[in-house]
Structure 1
């Protein structure tokens, strides 16, 4: 902004370096993305005033800058962003400044890898026309897994697909074997993020021959449910849909089961949900003196020296 105010109007070019974070966003870089978008807006304002201006939004560079270290570069490549060779990037810079455009984005993107990952959690309107259809397709008639499942009983088919899913989850998360993957434990608790979610989808597509959605891990959030979905694509009769389950457990109009009361014990003497809400609404912290009804030798356990072994030095706390 200072440079814009000081340079005057007699310029051939006014170039700012932005980044893709300001164009389509980057994980954990919200403030950085906003600052880069502000640079783009500065150039837009200059252009509206009839002044020269070019904003170049860069993808990651190789060997220099924020993506220079090997670990970051590896993560970016896994996400579909290849760090650019500096010489090629500089050549692109010359073309960008000479193009006459206000804003140019220069990045080496493998769209087939990047788009499914980037659009896995929510819609990205900017890429709506580029994103491939991620809907399920028909089951290929000839796949190794399909042939193997054909000769198994229903129980054996379920076990085979569950073992496959757990094995692929183990590979994606870096576990030594499928034994480390609990079938009923949520993928989020196991450590999945959007990147590993798409990796698992890709591996299962290759292993099964199915066309699977990029949101697979979010739609079927543990190995048991994901295996049931995959098995249902091969043998629909063995898969019970969520709608069928919901219909089976829907309460009747005269359901005799009702909630008649709730109880709890929290710090600050809270013993009912109403008292808990009063605590929250009033802004009290619930911290108080040690309870005297639990058989604790409070005087014997207390010592004012924090370094004294086997004792505590606090006089107050929050007790459930």
Structure 2
């Protein structure tokens, strides 16, 4: 399969994110904004140092390419990437807040809602074509999310907020394929850091002195931010947003298992059945690639 590497990149990225609670929960005593501030600032510093040290030629080539674009295209690229940074910042904050102050399960539901939103946005905005079986998988996912929302409407509200911000970010990245992926992500995170910087003096708590805080923040910065986002951008360069969106369901399924097994959050049949239904939806959506079943309606 020519695009197997793109599927593997997406699967690996979302599998990593599925275990995010393992490094985020130990920081539950710290304010969500503090975790966000130090996470983004760390990522910005690490990526900028790497870019300046090892990617100067790439920076030069990307700048030349950007200047060669028509004025309208340059303006659209600026708006697109500024908007992407805002969406990424909003997604990170909402995720950290919900993970540490609402429930792990609510964050896992967010990334069940996200693939549905991504697929629908990709269909209307990017003209991604879907087969009947893929529409069936979207329908199954919707049923699963409705069942989950019936159990807890507040969780579903927070989940939808997280899901929408990341779905919109995913869709926006289809226009950035001609730029270096590392530099694109570096720009998004650097701009995110600049957006947050004015709020740091007023909204941050006392400077943490515990080594544990910085240890986990750096793990989050590298392993749970830079690496999966780069894998995500790589996957988007080879497969459709709708497919990446559906593979994203791996994330909440892992998070759901951890919520019950590790954190002992109450999980009943009304929660287990929808997750099983959504897992089935992932299999159905990607059935052509997983089982090599010929489907003439798939792109």
Larger RCO: Structure 1 or Structure 2 (Cα < 8 Å, ≥ 6 residues apart)?
A: 2
Greater helix share, structure number? 2
TM-score range, shorter chain: under 0.3
TM-score normalized with structure 2 length:
0.22
Q: Considering only CA atoms, is the larger Rg found in Structure 1 or Structure 2?
A: 1
Greater strand share, structure number? 1
